[in-house]
Amino acid sequence: MKIAPHELDILEQALVCGIRDYMFKYGFKSVHLGLSGGLDSALAACLAVQAAGKENVVCFYLPSRFSSQGSKDDSRELAGNLGCRYEVISIEPLFENFLAVLEPFFEKLPFDTAEENLQARIRGTVLMAFANKFHSMLLSCGNKSELAMGYCTLYGDMAGALSPIGGLFKTEVIAMCRRINGNAVEIGAKPPIPQIIIDKPPSAELRPGQKDQDSLPPYELLDEILELYLRKGFSQGEIVRHGCDAQLTEKIVKTVSMAEFKLRQAAPVLAVDFFN
């Protein structure tokens, strides 16, 4: 699934064109998104600035009690490198109020995805309020790996008018971010994406110590199977004969099927499968 450097450049420009064209068609002059301190939102922000201009992009950091100082610092540095507006709105007071309202129903029940998804949905509400008030286009920052596996929150991080990187697997997101930084170095410019964002383990930061691979297989293995299944149309048996683990393949194929209902409610995704 390795993409040549020149193909990454073509793909980057195609995504920029897709964002710009979508904004033009629907009358948007500005764009905004939530920064998590992670790689997906970092790439979306880079593409947004190219498409709309840094003066027309607003990046929000929306921390809860589980957000790390590192993620806040990384998000601020990214926005500073891109030269776009950066705002911090704590969702902790809203989260506390939701928990208080729900306490009679949640009493004595363990913390689980209900509380995790509450945080994502509060963020989605705040970002959509900004979209409505200022007629700004909200970008949803999920990648194809997460969307396929349902590792996303309806009415939360899936909220938005457009999903610019929803056609890229996580490993492709990583490759494009490295390429963008590499291209900047080649012309003597500062890499826009802080290296720590590329290097640190992905996490939704919705509970203490959370990492993506608590819920998902390693992205290298996951994306290999997803590419064969979703892009090349291999059957489960063909994927196994291709050399992939049978048990893992079965689990991924079943999960993709169970997550289909989420995809039908997702923001429009820029299709990029043309280079395969």
Segment 39-97, tens digit of pLDDT: 999 999 999 999 999 999 999 999 999 999 999 999 999 999 999 999 999 999 999 99
CA distance 204 to 157: 10
Q: Identity (one letter) of the amino acid at 75?
A: S
Confidence of residue 183 (pLDDT cuts 50, 70, 90): very high
Confidence of residue 259 (pLDDT cuts 50, 70, 90): very high
Tokens standing for residue 248: 């893992």
Q: Which H or E run contains 173? A: helix 170-186
The pLDDT of residue 262 is above 60: yes
Confidence of residue 213 (pLDDT cuts 50, 70, 90): confident
What CA–CA distances, in Å, run from 28 to 20, 83, 136, 140, 226? 9, 20, 6, 15, 33
> For position 35, what pLDDT does the model report?
97
List of domains in the chain: 5-210+260-275 (3.40.50.620)
> For position 155, what pLDDT does the model report?
95
- Rounded percentage of the chain residues whose pLDDT exceeds 70: 98
What per-residue string of b and e applies to 237-272 under the rule 16 or more CB within 10 Å gives b?
Answer: eebbeeebeeebbeebbebbeebeebeeebbebbeb
Confidence of residue 258 (pLDDT cuts 50, 70, 90): very high
Q: Is the dihedral of CA 43, 45, 51, 53 positive or negative?
A: negative
Q: Is the dihedral of CA 18, 24, 27, 33 positive or negative?
A: positive
The pLDDT of residue 207 is above 80: no
The pLDDT of residue 276 is above 60: no
Give, to the nearest 10 degrees, the angle between helix 5-25 and helix 170-186: 100
The pLDDT of residue 1 is above 70: no
